[in-house]
Amino acid sequence: MKPILKIVNTQQSEALQIMKVRDPYFFPTWHFHPELEIMLVQEGSGIRFVGNSMERFQAGDLVLHGSNIPHLYRSDKEYYQKDTSLVSRAMVVYFKENFLGESFWKLSAIAPLKRLLALSRRGIKFRGRAKEELQERIEGLESQKDSIGRIIDLLAILRSMAETREYDLLLASDFTRHVSEDDCERINKVYQFIIDHYTENPTLDQVAEVANMSSTAFCRYFKSHTTKTYTQFLNDIKIDNACRLLLDNRLSISQICFETGFNNFTHFNGQFKKITGLTPKQYQTYHLNR
């Protein structure tokens, strides 16, 4: 599939736009847009890329993406099977930072919301009780047919986001300085190639060729965009999928080792513990018991 740059624009006459997603898999392209985005995953699982952050997502995942942060929700491979009955569902809310006008944000009473929007440039993932309450309010936006009511409800959601401390920042710093349309297309090709072929252990030269760069230039480019070497990123992808298979609990640990592209069980164990802090068996036991 040819990579696509997706730039979303809300209607100029509307303060916000609500999009309901119900497809076999989420839009699998690294993209960015000037609108802020609230992404609530209601069904589905996979890997979430936000700037140089990479984490698994599942139902209930709730993230506020700031303006122009590149992001990608890549569904797990079983969602791409031709005859799959799996469904990926999400509710996405787009709004522009100045949706109430520039003067609104100059009011002293709005300072908490200004801090929230500033933090959103690093990606904010909500958790705990706050996430559950926010999910209910966000899903309620769809039933609110009145435009003024939607604006009031959105402000209430943003206020709750600004007041809670139950969140994690996905990025160490503002990532938007890295964004360009050419970067999106190149990173799309690279991410897609690695995720599709990670079990084959593609070489640095092969991935650099996908990016249409020399190996040396690609190393610098990739590290600047992900803060990781290509080898570190490849191992992260492998271990992420190993974690998923461990929780699926249908293959033995040795089978998972080779299923995810590791040719040496000792190396697999070492990389797994380095990345997760646990051995594969400890990880499986801990999470399945929960």
pLDDT for 288: 85
**Alpha-helix residue ranges (DSSP H) falling in the chain:** 111-119, 128-140, 147-163, 181-197, 204-210, 215-226, 230-248, 253-259, 265-276, 280-289
Q: Per the domain annotation, does 9 fall within a domain?
A: no
Same domain, 22 and 71: yes
Domain CATH code at residue 79: 2.60.120.280
pLDDT for 2: 37
DSSP 31: B
Cβ pair 16, 144 in contact under 8 A: no
Summarize pLDDT for 236-290 with one digit per residue, the tens: 999 999 999 999 889 999 999 999 999 999 999 999 999 999 999 999 998 888 7
169, 189, 217: which is the final residue of a domain? 169
Q: Which residues lie below 8 Å from residue 58, measured CB to CB, with a gap of 6+?
A: 41, 44, 45
Q: What is the number of other CB atoms lying within 10 angstroms of the CB of residue 72? A: 24
**Helix-, strand-, coil-residue percentages of the chain, each rounded to 5:** 50, 15, 30
Q: Per the domain annotation, does 33 fall within a domain?
A: yes
Domain residue limits at 244: 180-289
116, 148, 169: which is the final residue of a domain? 169
pLDDT for 265: 93
Number of domains in the chain: 2
Six-digit token string for 264:
């040496």
pLDDT for 136: 96
pLDDT for 4: 39
pLDDT for 176: 61
**174 in helix, strand or coil?**
coil
Q: What is the number of other CB atoms lying within 10 angstroms of the CB of residue 8? A: 14
DSSP 190: H
pLDDT < 70 stretches in the chain = 1-13, 175-180
Q: Per the domain annotation, does 5 fall within a domain?
A: no
Q: Per the domain annotation, does 174 fall within a domain?
A: no
Q: Would the CA dihedral through 248, 276, 288, 72 be positive or negative?
A: negative
Same domain, 89 and 122: yes
Domain CATH code at residue 221: 1.10.10.60
pLDDT for 210: 95
Same domain, 125 and 67: yes
169, 200, 226: which is the final residue of a domain? 169
Rounded Cα gap, residues 10 and 95, in angstroms = 7
CA-based nearest residue to 3, from 251, 282, 210, 281: 210
CA-based nearest residue to 66, from 216, 166, 218, 177: 177
Strands 88-95 and 71-75: unpaired
Same domain, 223 and 160: no
Q: Which residues lie below 8 Å from residue 190, measured CB to CB, with a gap of 6+?
A: 207, 210, 211, 222
Q: Which residues lie below 8 Å from residue 180, measured CB to CB, with a gap of 6+?
A: none
pLDDT for 180: 67
Q: Compute CA distances 268 → 223, 236, 262, 279, whole Å.
A: 23, 11, 6, 9
